[in-house]
Structure 1
Amino acid sequence: MRLTSDAAGVYVIAVTPFHPDGRIDMESCDRMVDFYLEAGATGLTVLGMMGEAPKLTLEESRDVVARILARVGGRVPVVVGVSAPGFAQIDALTRMVMYLGAAGVMVAPPGSLRTDDQIVTYYTQIAELLGDVPFVLQDFPLATGVQIAPGVIARIVNDLPTCVCLKHEDWPGLEKISYLRRDGVLTRPLSILCGNGGLYLPEEMARGADGAMTGFAYPEMMAAVVAHHAAGEVDRGQDIFDAYLPLARFEMQPGLGLAIRKYTLARRGIIAHDALRKPGARLTAPARAEVDRLIERQERRLEELG
């Protein structure tokens, strides 16, 4: 199964579960995969920025990807983040995960890129390095510091047929989606899947996005928003989104978001522990109480919606 420009729906960014002592929790990986698929995920993305990929050794990365791919069993495509400072590591990780059965890889630009031509050259070299492997261009300037203009994305997509998907995480970035969906800008199809924890998903869908590629401790919200939008039930999708919005907003705190997400997933029984591998943030008792309160209010709102 290869990633294509038809990618749509919700590609959940998977967390990497750990035991409190820092060991990878493979049993929780299995439960997590089952949960994501039951929640409506149409794909998974592993070793993304919220998957603590830089904290894993190459061997650990292989083991996590292999475990998740085995549990998925070909039911949905699995994309693997392979971003790294140098091409040797990108090449090694890409070869490894594609051999294991990944559908494609995701590559973010290094923070050293400054000009439009540098960005285009970088992705041209990435495409040459990856060969026929389909890849996702991750546009996340808040994290990378690299500003990619919509016209530059169009140049990359039009010139590089293996760039099949844009992970759109610019903020604000709705105009970028509208530009790319304008007639004549792109010469071939491109999947646009959005990030930012789903915080702007209703608006992104209205602008022409194909879905989400992000994490949130309640991925069923994102699946419902995308499904209702596809069915023309925009208001119903917005109502569901609004019920989850306070927790989604709270989870988007820079530097603390992953700890909140893992705490919520552990609270739901999906992963055994909310541990982050060091260095990593930990929630204080007041922060955990705030999450608990938001979840309780969310549940009451969902009951009201029926």
Structure 2
Amino acid sequence: MPDRSFSGVFPILQMPFNEAGEIIFEDLRAEVEYAIRGGVHGVGIAYGSEVNKLDDHERDEVLSAVVDQANGRIKVVMNTGAPSTVQTIHYTRTAKVLGADAVMIAPPAIAGIPGSLVRQHFIDVAESTDLPIYMQDMAGAAMAPALLADLAQANENLCYAKIETLPTPNRFSETAELAGDSISMFGGANGVFFLEELRRGAVGTMQGIALCDIVRKTWDLYHAGDEIAAERLWNDYQPLVKLYTLAEGQLYWVAKEILKRRGVFSEAYPRLPAVKPDAGIYRELDALIERLGVAAI
């Protein structure tokens, strides 16, 4: 039986690089500690971590370092998606060996791929492992609620869904109606519809890590029954959240700059190519950090 206990705040790690594009492993370990101080229940290594820019050796090094630093205190989810089923199975088996608690897979990003092949891809991967699998529904690789429900009922390892195709609220409602208890739903997309997803049955959220403590406080207020306070807190931080919900590339610069300002990262570079935000974005970031009192935790 796969582990169905995952719930709560599971931020996606940012990958710390220096200007030359080399991974700063001390910063990566510091980021895991920062997440734990922020009260998270788990962390993910995924597209938001620029995992698609890592070679195979780096993937293994990163996962090993995160698992070692977490040391059983929080869950670790590793993205093992790849263009081919053979690659995805390989990455999934490697993640198991290196200590991941679960894996996350999006459909292969192949234009026009038939739904029957997407379904078979997920079934083949699920049959190759005993790890729980997050099926990732995302922009550019969407998974309809009917497909999520069908897959969850076809293999018990396909028991989690990260639903990010916007707008998410209706997809949460439809997935819950079709899948019932066979799927545990997580939100993402940097919390654009965080509270709406909770109201529609989300058991967790996988947002960016820059403000993971605020996400946890919002989570706690909601689950304590104080939805008004949860909404007020979350709304206070929306201008800052908006800045690290920019187009891919730009968001890495902003999220890493926030982590640097919070004393987590020593440098704030993505791996290139990644379009850098203009000076106006950084001025807005300065003003928001000062106004909201975003300090180290």
1:149 corresponds in structure 2 to 144
Secondary structure of 1:290 counterpart: helix
| Deviation of 1:268 (Å) | 1.2
Q: State the one-letter code of the partner of 2:58.
A: E
Once the two structures are superposed, what CA deviation does each residue of 1:158-213 show, in whole Å capped at 9, x if it has no partner? 1110012101101012111112223xx32544221111111211111111111201
| Deviation of 1:226 (Å) | 1.5
Tell whether the 8 Å contact from 2:187 to 2:207 is kept in structure 1 after alignment. yes
Distance in 2 between the 1:97 and 1:131 partners?
10
Once the two structures are superposed, the pairs formed by residues 184-199 of structure 1 within 5 Å of their partners are 185-186=178-179, 188-199=181-192
Once the two structures are superposed, what CA deviation does each residue of 1:66-90 show, in whole Å capped at 9, x if it has no partner? 1111110011110101111123322
Judging changes above 3 Å, is the alpha-carbon distance between structure 1 residues 92 and 126 closer, same or farther for their aligned structure 2 residues? closer
5+ residue gaps, structure 1: none
Distance in 2 between the 1:24 and 1:147 partners?
30
Alignment equivalent of 1:76, drawn from 53, 64, 74: 74
| Deviation of 1:114 (Å) | 4.2
| Deviation of 1:3 (Å) | 6.5
1:286 corresponds in structure 2 to 280
Secondary structure of 1:163 counterpart: coil
Secondary structure of 1:167 counterpart: strand
Judging changes above 3 Å, is the alpha-carbon distance between structure 1 residues 216 and 31 closer, same or farther for their aligned structure 2 residues? closer
Distance in 1 between the 2:146 and 2:92 partners?
27
Secondary structure of 2:135 counterpart: strand
| Deviation of 1:136 (Å) | 0.6
Alignment equivalent of 2:229, drawn from 230, 236, 250: 236
Secondary structure of 2:73 counterpart: coil
Q: State the one-letter code of the partner of 2:136.
A: Q
Q: State the one-letter code of the partner of 1:242.
A: N
Distance in 2 between the 1:297 and 1:207 partners?
32
Q: State the one-letter code of the partner of 1:265.
A: L
1:137 corresponds in structure 2 to 135
Alignment equivalent of 2:159, drawn from 164, 170, 182: 164
CA RMSD of aligned residues (A): 1.9
- The two structures have a TM-score, normalised by structure 1, of 0.90
User: Is residue 87 of structure 1 aligned with residue 73 of structure 2?
Assistant: no
Secondary structure of 2:43 counterpart: strand
Secondary structure of 2:10 counterpart: strand
- The two structures have a TM-score, normalised by structure 2, of 0.93
Alignment equivalent of 1:270, drawn from 238, 244, 264: 264
Tell whether the 8 Å contact from 2:135 to 2:160 is kept in structure 1 after alignment. yes
Alignment equivalent of 2:291, drawn from 292, 297, 302: 297
| Most deviating of 103-112 and 92-101 | 92-101
Distance in 2 between the 1:278 and 1:249 partners?
22
Displaced runs of 4 or more, over 4 A: none
Tell whether the 8 Å contact from 2:89 to 2:125 is kept in structure 1 after alignment. no
Tell whether the 8 Å contact from 2:148 to 2:179 is kept in structure 1 after alignment. no
Distance in 1 between the 2:23 and 2:224 partners?
40
5+ residue gaps, structure 2: none
User: Is residue 245 of structure 1 aligned with residue 255 of structure 2?
Assistant: no
Q: State the one-letter code of the partner of 1:23.
A: E
Q: State the one-letter code of the partner of 1:7.
A: F
Distance in 1 between the 2:288 and 2:31 partners?
22
